[in-house]
Amino acid sequence: MKKIIYVTGAPATGKSTLTENLHKRLPETNIFTYSEKLLTLVKDRSGLKASQDELRRQSSNIITREDIEKLDKQLLSLASSCRGRQNLVIDSHPVTIEKYGFRVTAFAKEQIKVLAPDVIICLYARADIIADRISKNAAGRPLPTLSEIDMHTQLQCQVASIYAIETSASLHFLDADYSPEVLLDNFMHVTKID
């Protein structure tokens, strides 16, 4: 059975690496990388020549709630066309760290029910590992404190839990301290997609 799988987690937990590796293993899987689609949408709207790194640095200064709502509608349309016919994996993190603290741009209750993921995966890793990953490859991300990383992870986990409660999707928290290969194997095991 083809599934809709929502993947979330704090930055540097390996969501993008996971979805890239999944696409190599199952190339027919439709991967919706929220940040990439959002960058395209913002560029089209504003004419900005921003990069993915700049989008991460400037998050709330560039991205509006209206941008997110427009992209959410595109995703819901895609999910509708994929349902039952093609695996759709959504790479997203609705919690962003901002200069003032954190921002949550979650789906509205009605939207998450329409999206109706079959499985929700939330990646997590120890704060020191995430800090090390960011320091080695910031990719536009500021280096948060360990307590901010812990808070970010907890907020992502809470959003994933709320989504699962609202949709009755199965929810798995995957330890992203493992190698990308082991993480992919664990993902394949709990999602049971092919």
What pLDDT, in 10s, does the model give residues 128-185? Answer: 999 999 989 877 677 889 999 999 999 999 999 999 999 999 999 999 999 999 999 9
Chain position carrying tokens 């993480």 = 183
> Hey, what are 175's tokens?
């330890």
Q: What is the pLDDT of residue 41?
A: 83
The residue that leads in pLDDT, 87 or 67, is 87
Q: What percent of the chain has pLDDT over 90?
A: 67
Q: What is the pLDDT of residue 158?
A: 97
pLDDT of residue 190 exceeding 80, the answer is: yes
* Among 4, 33, 28, CA closest to 18: 33
Under the banding of pLDDT at 50, 70 and 90, the label for residue 1 is confident
pLDDT of residue 55 exceeding 60, the answer is: no
Q: What percent of the chain has pLDDT over 70?
A: 91
Q: What is the pLDDT of residue 58?
A: 58
Distance between CA 140 and CA 131 in Å, rounded? 14
Q: What is the pLDDT of residue 93?
A: 82
Mean confidence (pLDDT) of the chain? 90
pLDDT of residue 14 exceeding 90, the answer is: yes
Using a 10 angstrom Cβ sphere, with 0-12 exposed, 13-18 middle and 19 or more buried, the burial of residue 166 is middle
Q: What is the pLDDT of residue 56?
A: 53
Cα–Cα distance list, 180 to 17, 63, 139, 186 (Å): 7, 30, 18, 10
Please write the tens of the pLDDT for every residue from 72-102: 999 999 999 999 999 999 999 889 888 889 9
Instruction: Determine if the pTM surpasses 0.75.
Output: yes
Using a 10 angstrom Cβ sphere, with 0-12 exposed, 13-18 middle and 19 or more buried, the burial of residue 142 is middle
Domains of the chain: which residue ranges? 4-191
Please write the tens of the pLDDT for every residue from 15-27: 999 999 999 999 9
Q: What is the pLDDT of residue 119?
A: 98
The class (CATH top level) of 4-191 is alpha beta
